[in-house]
Structure 1
Amino acid sequence: MAEASSDFAGTTPVREQHRFDEARLAQWMAAHIPGFAGPMHVEQFKGGQSNPTYRLRTPGADYVLRRKPPGALLKGAHAVEREARVMAELGAVGYPVPRVHALCTDEGVIGSWFYVMDMVEGRIFWDASFSTLPRDERPAMLDAMNAALAALHRIDPAAVGLADYGRPGGYVARQLARWSQQYLDDELAGRHPAMDRLVDWLREHLPASGETAITHGDFRVDNMIFHPTEPRVLAVLDWELSTLGDPLADFAYHAMMYRMPPDILGGIAGVDLQAAGLPDEAAYVAAYCRRTGRDGIPDLDYYISFNMFRFAAILHGIKGRVARGTAASADGEVMGERFARVATIAWEQASRVHR
């Protein structure tokens, strides 16, 4: 999971707890990646709360390596093999993802499973208002995100070899059960009254099971690389939470930016949208519906409340990893502290829903 803050931009020397035998990695790269040639210089991206991520610089090309973190891991978490698979399959049909070169499941190389992909050069933005761009360029950038997510949801999983990438139907119920259990089980991270109320409310108001599509799970502005000059998404990153799921829940997570403050997920709540040159939430939802052939999203408020809960649960997990000493990012403590705030925002959102 990436962090929506420019504080996480760029690279840093590899952190002590994430170091590995770089010579051993170079040997593996030479054996498994055509065209690889050293010398290789390794840096660590500042972001990457869940899976430590590295930039591998060589004279001929730059690569990105993502690995499972060292230490005790929760069951099913940090599935880099799933990230590698979904990007390889989507890339084969032209969806904008980095090219995946190889997956390594031999822990003897760097101490955990990892995969290597291309380094995609382009623009990364840390807030969905695109405030660093001229006003007249912003709407097209926002629309490019909308188009990229709609395109993902229109892909037939079976047609791209992903029919078994998850279970059809019941996505929200399964996600609610998963994240609720992780929240309740992680005693080191503590409990919060708003989060406890959310668990009960979401269970009581669960909508009927919807359709099934390939879902990203963390689709937001800082998980995309945009073309250097055009309003176009070159690469969608961070597929750790991807699965077969409910596309409306996936879209609601993305649209949640309209109800989150700028310092959380790069949200645009409180931004004067007209002055910023941006469409309002209703127009953004309508654009997605046009692209996916829908008349509307009746349960949007529930889906947004659910996604706020899920994001709070993710922050709660980061807080727990900090307590256990396995947080991938040096800024994990800051992210963990946001848990209580997001849980409160999520409960306030749920409290406004009239069903």
Structure 2
Amino acid sequence: MASAQEFAGTGPVRDQHRFDQAALERWMARNVAGYAGPLTIDQFKGGQSNPTYRLRTPGRSYVLRRKPPGELIKGAHAVEREARVMAALGQAGFPVPRIHGLCTDDAVIGSWFFVMDLVEGRIFWDAGFSDVAAGERAAYMDAMNATLASLHTIDPAAIGLGDYGKAGGYVARQVARWSDQYRSDELAGRHPAMDQLVDWLPRHLPAADEVAITHGDFRADNLIFHLTEPRVLAVLDWELSTLGDPLADFAYHAMMFRMPPDILGGIAGRDLAAAGLPDEAAYVEAYCRRTGRPGIGNLDFYIAFNMFRFAAILHGIKGRVARGTASSADARAMGERFARVADLAWTQAQRLMA
């Protein structure tokens, strides 16, 4: 879906996302231990949902993530949830940036925000790790697999997240949530494949689901790796996290095997063996081994569901472009991928009907 050229790095703060820097500096001085200015601010090119900024001082660097200004869909852009889950997971030893503070006072910069450490490392923009030697790629893939499996084996209640979401019924709620969001966003328009999925998915839900902390958007470009080692230093972008079905969360990640390179940096169509990559079956087996399960019987359904969910996210981006609240400079191009992903999702569902 993304490329380093499209979304990596930073640039000047975009006009629609400017705020009172002096007010932020006063808040930092009061709330961030050891803060010492002066402060320089630029904006990350990515951050499709929540505008994200790099804050630099002479001594260290931080990241600020905020709700976008303007009219927002109810329940979206929940930066307070991101801050909460990362703080709890950090205390449990899971790789996330350190959270320094959350501000729920709109008067400071115009919307809620939180500040966390900037983790120095390497971000890969395709799931096949094309930027490393073929002989090293399997190790990077395995590091992703191990990190997600580790997340799904953490007891939510043990780290204070027992109330972070509802227990059970995750996929049904997600189908209903994204269906409602799709239907309610009239500015983004409708698409036949999406309408068919809205009807088909509720009638083919798994009989039961498990409960774990789920990331919701676990993919290569939401991870920061060590500069030279196949080791995950931090998992980013927790806006869609909740208590949910870990198999659905894993299937979203495993969609990379069925997505083309220009969508989510997928690896569909590649000669995996020649590229030094595991195939889908081996990747699924590694996750199942780490989480102590014999297999994933409903993997095809879960992938169809996740393609639908991702299409709904793109539909939301398309709507934000229409409303003028899109965070990323490349949001228009992303929103235009909506129909294509919806078609991919419906094709996956049709395979299950055969």
* Secondary structure in structure 2 of the residue aligned to 1:244: strand
- Which residue does the alignment assign to 2:328? 329
1:300 equivalent to 2:299? Answer yes
Matched-pair contact (CA < 8 Å) for 1:97–1:234: yes
Q: What secondary structure does 1:63 align onto? A: strand
Residue 209 of structure 1: how far off its partner (Å): 2.2
Partner of 1:20: 19
Q: Which amino acid aligns with 1:48?
A: G
Specify the alignment match of 2:39 in structure 1: 40
Match of 1:4 among 2, 5, 11: 2
SS at match of 2:41: strand
* Aligned counterpart, 2:275: 276
Q: CA deviation at 1:354?
A: 4.4
The 3-state SS of whatever aligns with 1:108 is helix
For the residues of structure 1 that align with 2:346 and 2:208, how far apart are their CA atoms? 22
What's the secondary structure of 1:66's corresponding residue? strand
Query: Does the 8 Å contact 1:128/1:267 carry over to 2?
Result: yes
Distance 1:338 1:235 in 2: 28
Match of 1:91 in 2: 90
- Name the counterpart of 2:179: 180
Counterpart residue type for residue 5 of structure 1: S
Asked whether the 8 Å contact 1:172–1:209 carries over to 2, the reply is no
* Per-residue CA distance 1:144-168 (angstroms, 9 max, x = gap): 0000000000000000000000000
> Whole-Å Cα distance in 2 between the matches of residues 81 and 134 of structure 1?
39
In structure 1, the partner of 2:352 is 353
Could you say what secondary structure the match of 1:353 adopts? helix
Residue aligning to 1:260: 259
1:135 Cα deviation from its structure 2 partner: 0.7
Distance 2:136 2:75 in 1: 41
Residue 60 (structure 1) aligns with: 59
Deviation at residue 201 of structure 1 after TM alignment: 1.3
CA-CA distance at 1:330 after TM superposition: 1.4
Flag structure 1 segments of 5+ consecutive residues without an equivalent: none
- Output the TM-score relative to the length of structure 1: 0.99
Q: Distance in 2 between matches of 1:74 and 1:26?
A: 29
Count of aligned positions: 353
Provide the residue aligned with 2:111 in structure 1: 112
Q: TM-score, length-normalised on structure 2? A: 0.99
| Map of 1:288 onto structure 2 | 287
SS where residue 56 of structure 1 aligns? strand
Q: 1:352 is paired with a residue of what secondary structure?
A: helix
Instruction: Look up the SS of the partner of 1:347 in the other structure.
Output: helix
Deviations 1:19-69 (A, max 9, x none): 001111011101111110011000000000100000001000000000000
Task: Tell me which stretches of 4 or more aligned residues in structure 1 moved more than 6 Å.
Answer: none
**Code of the aligned partner of 2:128:** S
In structure 2, stretches of 5+ residues that fail to align are none
Decide whether the 8 Å contact of 1:169 with 1:211 is kept in 2. Answer: yes
Deviation, 1:5, is 2.1
